[in-house]
A and B are shown apart, each in its own frame.
Chain A
Amino acid sequence: MSGVIETVNLNLYYGTYQALKGVNVTFAERRVTAVIGPSGCGKSTLLRTLNRMNDHLGAQVTGQVLFRGEDIYMPATNVVALRSRIGMVFQRPNPFPFSVYDNVAMGPRMHSVPASQIPTIVEESLLASDLWHRVKDRLLSPALELSLGQQQQLCIARVIATNPEIILFDEPCSALDPETTLHIEELIRRLSKEYSVIVVTHNMQQAARVSETTVFMLSGQIIEVGSTLKMFTSPSDKRTEDYISGRYG
């Protein structure tokens, strides 16, 4: 299966500790793929390799991560440009201590988008993250005054403003209440019509609700990849079955 981004025999080390072991996985275009597995299995580590966020942690990587056929770990890769094409939304909402407007505008400004285009980009990004109607009358107010759920939506808008092709979500709802979580899940589903979405989550039910494809990881390895329906009704691997039915551990 051809996808938008794939790993080829990917290994990752933090010093002598091997966090990813021979990972081969392809993520489909314009679909939601969930990555699940127990704590410490390497799912967030895998996610961070997809836009080289592990560089900051001093990780050593062998193998390849091919984004549209090009290895992002080649020395010539422009990592800043890469991260505008593959954006990330983190577990805890992390808006900048600026206004709502400036949070969204920051990415396009950094990428030298003409100033005349910025207001439209801000509006469209906030519309896409379902936040526009709540903030359109207070764009200049501090982002930190928004509720936690709205801050997360703002972070999503911030990513969208850089015109990404892939959006990575690292446990995007674990800090949010159930109602906001469902709202963000609906948003993720809608976003996958325009962007390829990869979601790391420890919440299996969330993975089942929101994704079309699920990747199950254990101890740094991919155990099973399949349609979410198949994974949650008749997984092929017993370890997958044990995990999703709560028998793991």
Chain B
Amino acid sequence: MPRGFLAQEIAELKAQLVEMGEYVVRSVNLSIQSLRLLDPNVAEDVITMDEIIDHQRIEIEGKCLRLIATQQPVARDLRVIMATFSIATDLERIGDHADDIASIVLRHANEPLLKPLIDIPRMTEVATGMLRDALKSLVEEDVELAKKLCERDAIVDALYNQVFRELLVFMMADPKTIARATYLIMAAQAVERIADLATNVAERSLYITTGVYSELNAD
């Protein structure tokens, strides 16, 4: 089959991207677990995972560059490779946010959490679900799945606003809680950004299939 080599390379590239995505989801879930338990060992694991994620991004970008330079892809093939290039960067940024949450745990030291975590894990569950579905929409070329992601981004945004208002009340009532409240706001913000980046992934997935770039972010 003509261009069989390119087709095989693109299939392997997609598989590599999905693998990176799964690894990123694991790192995000672990980062929230480390925050919930204030476990520095788990936090250190997340930081180590971020280094691997960085390496995965470089590998995928290198492969995309190689394919563009040597195979002259056009049309859909080119869109797939360019989208993969961008998505790898988005996934790496998600990994960075998980790393940020893990760093918060290390900074929190021995102080207890200001309040038990309920909304932030809920945000994380929605955000990681969005990321999984965004990658699924890429692999399965499911346009409808990609389009529906923005509805869940709105849920994450609403939860973030709730968390922010709640912690603001804490800080106003007792200035001694400002540091711990700020840490939780930073963690919530990181998860909110993860959801936004998952929407980016869905947008690029849509672009591959339709050839048209559409904004899906709720705000």
Identify the A interface with B (CB < 8 A).
Answer: 179, 182-183, 185-186, 189, 205, 208-209, 228-229, 232-233
Chain B positions 48-69 with a Cβ under 8 Å from a chain A Cβ: 65-66, 69
Number of B residues near A (Cβ < 8 Å) is: 11
CB distance from B59 to the nearest CB of A (A): 14
Known contacts: A186-B4, A186-B5. The answer to whether A209 contacts B69 by CB under 8 A is no
Contact check, B69 vs A186: say whether CB atoms are below 8 A apart: no
| B71 on interface, CB distance cutoff 8 Å | yes
SS class, residues of chain A in contact with chain B: helix
Show 8 A/B contacts (Cβ-Cβ < 8 Å), sorted by A.
A179-B2, A182-B2, A205-B72, A208-B69, A208-B72, A209-B71, A233-B65, A233-B66
Give the residue among B3, B4, B69, B71 with the most A Cβ atoms within 10 A.
B69
Contact check, A186 vs B3: say whether CB atoms are below 8 A apart: yes
CB distance from B4 to the nearest CB of A (A): 6
Contact check, A208 vs B70: say whether CB atoms are below 8 A apart: yes
Identify the B interface with A (CB < 8 A).
Answer: 1-5, 65-66, 69-72
Contact check, B2 vs A229: say whether CB atoms are below 8 A apart: no
Question: Chain B residue with minimal CB distance to A185?
Answer: B2
**Contact check: which of B1, B65, B66, B70 meets A186 at CB < 8 Å?**
B1
Given contacts A185-B2, A186-B3, 11 further A-B contacts (CB under 8 A): A182-B2, A182-B3, A186-B5, A205-B72, A208-B70, A208-B72, A209-B72, A228-B70, A233-B65, A233-B66, A233-B69
Question: Chain A residue with minimal CB distance to B62?
Answer: A229
Instruction: Count A/B pairs, Cβ under 8 Å.
Output: 28
CA distance A233 to B70 in the complex (A): 9
CB distance from A172 to the nearest CB of B (A): 15
Question: Chain A residue with minimal CB distance to B72?
Answer: A205
Question: Chain A residue with minimal CB distance to B2?
Answer: A182
CA distance A185 to B4 in the complex (A): 10
Contacts of B2 in A (CB 8 A): 179, 182-183, 185-186
Contacts of A186 in B (CB 8 A): 1-5
CA distance A179 to B1 in the complex (A): 10
**Contact check: which of A179, A182, A209 meets B70 at CB < 8 Å?**
A209
Closest 4 A/B residue pairs (Cβ)? A182-B2, A208-B70, A232-B69, A233-B69
CA distance A64 to B170 in the complex (A): 84
CA distance A182 to B4 in the complex (A): 10
CB distance from A228 to the nearest CB of B (A): 6
Contact check, B5 vs A229: say whether CB atoms are below 8 A apart: no
CB distance from A33 to the nearest CB of B (A): 14
Contact check, B1 vs A229: say whether CB atoms are below 8 A apart: no
CB distance from B214 to the nearest CB of A (A): 32
CB distance from A24 to the nearest CB of B (A): 25
**Contact check: which of B3, B4, B71 meets A208 at CB < 8 Å?**
B71
